[in-house]
Amino acid sequence: MEIEELTERLGPFCRAKLGDPAAEVTSVSLTPGHAGFSYFFDVRTGGATRSFVLRVPPPGVRWEGTADVLRQARVIRALKGTGVPVADVVWSGDDLEWLGTPYSVVARLEGDTLRSEEGEWVTTLTAEQLRPMAQQAVRALATIHRQDWQALVPNDGPPISIEDDVNRWDRFWERAAEPERVALGPEVKRRLLARIPEDPRIGIFHGDFQWTNLFYSRGLELLAVIDWELWGVGATLNDLGWFLTFCDSANWCHEGRVNVPWPSIDELIAMYVEAYGSAPGDVSWYRALAGYKFSIITGLNLSLHRRGKRHDPHWETIAPSAQSLMERSLELLG
């Protein structure tokens, strides 16, 4: 949807939802990031300006899976009050009269995520500042994992099995733009399946728990875990492996990536153990799985970009890391 059309649609939507016939949408813009279709918008109402974030499904896709924005709103609402920092869902619904698509709207927060790119504010932060930020992140992650999914989201099971989680990436691997960069995929998959962790912890997982989905105030307080489009019920340590993958410089070789002084992998694991209350198990396996997945995701999204299906030159930048991710996964699996 073009910004002009969305602005026109948001006017009557906001007037109805706010109960203010004089409410006026004053700005609409795309949010930064590389997933989903999200927009910032401001509304002048009652003599003040309120700011929101709108998320809608990508055009031309079924409203299910990662495109099911109502499912995302559901888990955010379920986690509110549990100790997990999440944004406030203001409105969500599938009443198509307003936007022609399902929608989820949350209150916009003041601050930013941490993007490891030149010119971003994370590059100004020291190791001493990042350590307590990491502790907040890991505590939030452990709190997510301790929740009783059957009490909070009982209709979102059954849990995804680990074997299925490994096997389901086959169809995406075959569609990579540069097959040579993911050529190690079959061997990584073989080793993953040969070393399946026993008795994995089962619960709610975020699915994309990394610094760019952690929203901090400029006072360095974690305000919300955002972007829940990949959440599910299954092995919760998927999240820990994913988070550690984005903190491990050995995974990344593309140009323009800034070496941020995150806490070490061992420190982060120790933080998680302390926050959760027990040792997590075979963390290396989950790190290897995360690297395998993100390598395949990179190849797929690069293909979509080059074929004009989903414009995002970001994937051109990080494409070289698809191979180093696979190589690191093999190292972790021994």
Looking up residue 55, the CATH number of its domain turns out to be 3.30.200.20
Identify the pLDDT of residue 247.
Answer: 94
Identify the pLDDT of residue 273.
Answer: 97
For residues 29 and 93, state if they share a domain. Answer: yes
For residues 248 and 328, state if they share a domain. Answer: yes
Task: Specify the number of domains making up the chain.
Answer: 2
Identify the pLDDT of residue 34.
Answer: 54
CA angle 267, 269, 271 (to 5 degrees): 70
For residues 309 and 205, state if they share a domain. Answer: yes
How confident is the model over 270-290, as pLDDT tens digits? 999 999 999 989 999 999 999
Identify the pLDDT of residue 33.
Answer: 66
Which residues of the chain have a pLDDT value below 50?
none
What gap in Å lies between CA 11 and CA 45, rounded to an integer?
Answer: 11
Q: Do the domain assignments include residue 79?
A: yes
Q: Which of 66, 81, 107 is the last residue of a domain?
A: 107
Which of 210, 209, 38 minimizes the C-alpha distance to 114? 210
How confident is the model over 286-302, as pLDDT tens digits? 999 999 999 999 999 99
Q: Do the domain assignments include residue 293?
A: yes
Q: Are 215 and 185 in contact (CB under 8 A)?
A: no
Q: Residue 54: give the domain boundaries.
A: 3-107
How confident is the model over 158-189, as pLDDT tens digits? 999 999 999 999 988 888 888 999 999 999 99
For residues 43 and 181, state if they share a domain. Answer: no
Which of 55, 66, 232, 62 minimizes the C-alpha distance to 155? 232
Q: Do the domain assignments include residue 115?
A: no
Q: What are phi and psi of 263, to 5 degrees?
A: -60, 155
